[in-house]
Amino acid sequence: MASNPVAKTDCLRFGDDFELNVRAYELRSAGIPLKLKPIPMELLLFLVEHRGKLVTREQIVERIWGKSVFLDNDNSINGAISRIRQVLRDAERPHFVQTISGKGYRFSALVTDAGASPAQPTLSPQTATSEDLTTKASAQGGIVHVPILSRWPLLLGVLIALTAT
């Protein structure tokens, strides 16, 4: 890859639960690591670094592969953008990575410094583990509201166990 991204902070937050740790080269959702290969990760870092601004396809090629590399840039960029959108659950109606037809891309989500806010990360009941909920409960005095829909597998298991006996 052509160069390393320069970031003012190590950890950035965007969306409801995404965290991008620049130093660790890691993307997380609700504390769970998400898999991104090096090219899509470099592209995501580059877009976030230039958030709110148009990043041209030429800038992407120069940043990711360098000026002297000749390859099928269009397919490589399209594939990386597609993978980023897939991981960010942003494919249907892009909220994070916008395509600017014929020009390039723009990262449009609000990005905050994860170190600047001491607030507890929010946990989605669909993705949170029991350990996550226990930690959150301890921090909130022992009370965590878990919607009934997220408890249905447990309730179903109890019902099956009761009917089996």
CATH of the domain at 27: 1.10.10.10
Q: 3-class SS at 75?
A: helix
The whole-number pLDDT of residue 127 equals 40
Token pair for residue 61? 């090629």
Which of 98, 121, 123 has the alpha carbon at shortest distance from 108? 98
- Tell whether 135 and 65 lie within a shared domain: no
* Shared domain check, 107 and 82: yes
Do both 84 and 56 map to the same domain?
Answer: yes
Within 18-69, strands assigned E span 18-21, 26-29, 32-34, 55-56
The residue ranges of the chain whose pLDDT is under 50 are: 1-7, 117-130, 132-134, 136-152
CB atoms within 10 A of CB 102: 6
Q: Are residues 57 and 100 in the same domain?
A: yes
User: Is 38 inside a domain boundary?
Assistant: yes
Number of domains in the chain: 2
- Asked if residue 140 is part of any domain, the answer here is yes
Kindly give, in sequence order, each residue whose CB lies less than 8 Å from that of residue 99, ignoring residues fewer than 6 positions away.
Answer: 81, 105
What SS3 class is residue 34? strand
pLDDT of the residue at 85: 94
Question: Do 59 and 138 lie in a common domain?
Answer: no
Q: Are residues 78 and 138 in the same domain?
A: no
Say whether both 34 and 66 belong to one domain: yes
Is 3 inside a domain boundary?
A: no
| Residues 134, 97 within the same domain | no
The answer to whether residues 54 and 100 belong to one domain is: yes
Q: What is the pLDDT of residue 48?
A: 93
**Does residue 72 sit in the same domain as residue 19?**
yes
Query: For residues 85 and 126, what is the distance between their CA atoms, to the nearest angstrom?
Result: 20
Domain of residue 64: give its range. Answer: 11-113
Based on its alpha-carbon atoms, the radius of gyration of the chain, rounded to whole angstroms, reads: 20
**Beta bridge pairs of residue 56:** 104
